Structure 1
Amino acid sequence: MVNIDDFVKRLEIILDYYGLNASSFADKIGVQRSSMSHLLSGRNKPSLDFVLKILDVFPDVDLYWILNGKGSFPKNREEPIIQKNSSLPEITNSSTLSPLENNVSGDLFSEINFSENKKELPNIPVVKNNTTAVEEEIEKIVFFYKNGTFKVYTP
């Protein structure tokens, strides 16, 4: 059961974090301003649709955190994100996986030993752009796996 007072406090934390007022937050997630007002005053409880809209628009919000205070906000960026791809077959037996796919749940930086099926990568030249003096920052790194899953790492 969701405690409404605690939910409202966590919702206010989200508003402060993104620097939004209730009206702009309601507009951003696509709900009526009055429903946001009723929710903040404790008159109404949040609907599932309301919570899902928050999660859709603000990916840093963790479902368990917004509902019952467990987890963290902003969301831990190193969590694996699994995407179901209907064009790929469902894999049920881990013995059929290659060594790389078998290590999907492991640490991103752990060593992988390949004793068989070594493939050489093509030699790709590195091109440096010396025309810009501004140093670019990496926003995120996405690892895609053959079994349809991927992980997002944000430094």
Structure 2
Amino acid sequence: MIDNEAFTKRLQKVIDYYGESASSFAEKIGVQRSSISHILSGRNKPSLDFVLKVLSSFPEVELYWLLNGKGEFPSTKNSKSFENENPELKIESTIRSEIKKKKEIERIIIFYSDGSFKNFQN
């Protein structure tokens, strides 16, 4: 049996780790905002579909950790390969953390392995 209160705390930890709001997290995993709100408030228990959407959208979250608190978050076995496959997500989380510090981004340059780059200016 899942301890609903403990699950809620772990879900909130995931949301905070990725720098998401409840509504942006809901959008990323493909559920309604009210679903997140109801789970975080303890009104509803998470469905299997909800848990699977979290796991497929955020590979650093381990099933047993999310459900039972056993294991670790972020998962070290998934995080390294996931960052190598999706460097844009690492950049995005860095950018989000910088935005939270009330700094303005002046310019972002992304360099690719073939020597090309993209320049984004504010």
Q: TM-score, normalised by structure 2?
A: 0.63
Deviations 1:82-136 (A, max 9, x none): xxxxxxxxxxxxxxxxxxxxxxxxxxxxxxxxxxxxxxxxxxxxxxxxxx6xxxx
Deviation at 1:19, TM superposition (A): 0.2
Unaligned residue ranges in structure 1 (runs of 5+): 79-131, 133-155
Separation in 2, partners of 1:62, 1:16: 16
- Which residue in 1 is equivalent to 2:52? 52
> Are 1:31 and 2:35 matched, yes or no?
no
Deviation at 1:64?
Answer: 0.1
- CA drift of 1:31 comes to 0.3
Aligned to 1:14: 14
| Pair member with larger Rg | 1
1:28-63: CA deviation from partner (whole Å, max 9, x where unpaired): 000000111101000000000000000000000000
Amino acid of the residue matched to residue 2 of structure 2?
A: V
Task: Name the structure, 1 or 2, with higher relative contact order (CA <8 Å, separation 6+).
Answer: 1
The sequence identity of aligned pairs, in percent, is 66
Aligned length: 80
The CA deviation at 1:71 is: 0.3
**Greater fraction helix:** 2
- Quick one: distance in 1 between partners of 2:32 and 2:25? 10
Displaced runs of 4 or more, over 3 A: none
C-alpha root-mean-square deviation of aligned residues, in Å?
1.5
The 5 Å alignment of 1:4-153 reads 4-77=4-77
